[in-house]
């Protein structure tokens, strides 16, 4: 089975997923909407919210054929299945899907990573970004977010993920890490 991307109306990803799931069983296709948990400030207070990683897109793992293509095209709020040429649909390369699947860690939600900054470099201690530090392009200490670069259908997409910044290991007390006040 290969990975494909369905372009849908933004905000309707979950509704489209339910409609497509109605037409196909789990052995025929796996639908995947990667999401991320981040902090947002509302009325002066931080709230943890879950947002779609790629708004307007649903990933599908299937043995796509023209019959499946036309069934999906008939689902309300589906615009198209992404393609790069004159084909009906184009597969996503494994090197593009692997980081996304690794970040979600068998779930559909990318949770917070925990790390610290040392010598202008981020060191991830735990969480989905552990081992994927090379994807991090920018750090926003104030918002507790990192910008991560992901390949998506042949182009680079920058997405924000939540991070919990810890004090450096040499600043630890009682073998516990504490939140950085910056």
Distance CA 103, CA 34 (A): 9
Is this model's pTM higher than 0.75 or not? yes
CB atoms within 10 A of CB 37: 15
Q: What's the pLDDT tens digit per position in 127-170? A: 888 888 888 888 887 787 889 888 887 788 898 888 887 776 55
Query: Does the pLDDT at position 181 exceed 50?
Result: no
CB atoms within 10 A of CB 55: 12
Q: What's the pLDDT tens digit per position in 54-80? A: 999 999 999 888 889 899 999 999 998
Distance CA 114, CA 162 (A): 9
pLDDT value of residue 166: 78
Q: What's the pLDDT tens digit per position in 15-35? A: 999 999 888 888 888 898 999
Q: Which domains does the chain have, with CATH numbers?
A: 2-171 (3.30.70.940)
């Amino acid at each position: 089975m290969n990975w494909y991307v369905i372009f849908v109306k933004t905000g309707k990803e979950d509704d489209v997923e339910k409609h497509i799931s109605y037409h196909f069983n789990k052995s025929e296709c796996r639908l995947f909407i990667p999401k991320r948990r981040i902090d947002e400030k509302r009325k002066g207070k931080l709230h943890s919210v879950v947002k779609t990683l790629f708004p307007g897109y649903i990933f599908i793992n299937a043995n796509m054929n023209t019959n499946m293509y036309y069934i999906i095209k008939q689902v309300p709020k589906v615009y198209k299945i992404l393609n790069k040429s004159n084909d009906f649909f184009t597969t996503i390369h494994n090197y593009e899907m692997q980081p996304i699947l690794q970040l979600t860690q068998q779930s559909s939600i990318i949770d917070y990573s925990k790390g610290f900054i040392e010598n202008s470099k981020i060191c991830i201690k735990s969480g989905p970004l552990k081992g994927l530090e090379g994807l991090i392009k920018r750090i926003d200490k104030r918002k507790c977010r990192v910008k991560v670069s992901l390949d998506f259908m042949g182009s680079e997409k920058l997405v924000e993920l939540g991070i919990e910044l810890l004090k450096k290991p040499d600043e630890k007390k009682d073998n516990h890490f504490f939140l950085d006040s910056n």
